[in-house]
Amino acid sequence: MINRIRDIRKQKGMTLADLAAACSPPTTAQTIGRLETGMRNLTTGWMERIAAALGVDAEMLVRSETSETAQIVATLGAQGAEALASPRDAILATDLNGEGALMVLEVEAASGPYMAGDQLWLRQIAPEDAAKAINRDVLVPRPGGRFAFGRLIDRQGTMVGILPTGAGQKQQVVHNPAWIGVAEMLVRPL
């Protein structure tokens, strides 16, 4: 595993000295530099101190060497799937092989087979490849920052038909979606 301290620090416009001073208790720029480069072990205590100073979750400081970080882009609640104001990195490090960007739907309220706390990892495909996703659970963007989530049951021209996972809900039709996120993996905390 390699850490992302340097990347996050630079994104926030901080120097080594700025980050060192922001830690509680403060440390030295040299120590932060050693932690960034792996010359010093990044313990959970250091992760928590640095994450607090950077204003991020501690889990965001580490990532797999071989895979890009998937993004949590939406939540599933009682009113359906909704976009997050700002996507955030998913915590689970995984190596799902395949083409297309990975994204994560976080379930906040039980819906169909999904329980609160579940994460559904999805692979982005082009709408013209929708035939590959028929009878699979999908996340489809709608206008206004909303999403349709459910079983992909039909595609006709530029329209896709989604059957929501909740009981008694009606089919949703999305016209000309930019992409379709096809469910690949369910992560359920024990």
User: What residues does each domain of the chain span?
Assistant: 2-63, 71-187
Q: Domain 2-63: give its CATH code.
A: 1.10.260.40
Question: For residue 56, what pLDDT is reported?
Answer: 86
Intervals of the chain under pLDDT 70: 1-2, 63-70, 89-98
Angle between helices 44-54 and 29-37 (to 10 degrees): 110
Question: For residue 94, what pLDDT is reported?
Answer: 47
Question: For residue 50, what pLDDT is reported?
Answer: 94
User: What token pair was written down for 184?
Assistant: 């690949």
Q: How many CB atoms lie within 10 A of CB 189?
A: 8
| Helix, strand, coil share (%) of the chain residues, nearest 5 | 25, 35, 40
pLDDT digits (tens, 9 = 90+) for 42-77: 888 899 999 999 988 887 887 644 556 667 788 888
Q: Please state the separation of Cα 142 from the chain's center in Å.
A: 18
Question: For residue 71, what pLDDT is reported?
Answer: 74
d(CA 106, CA 188): 10
- Bridge partners, 72 (sequence order): 88, 104
**What is the torsional sign of CA 177, 179, 184, 185?**
negative
Question: For residue 138, what pLDDT is reported?
Answer: 95
Question: For residue 21, what pLDDT is reported?
Answer: 96
Q: Domain 71-187: give its CATH code.
A: 2.10.109.10
- Bridge partners, 83 (sequence order): 74
Task: Tell me how many degrees the CA angle 121-172-81 measures, rounded to the nearest 5.
Answer: 40
Question: For residue 65, what pLDDT is reported?
Answer: 47
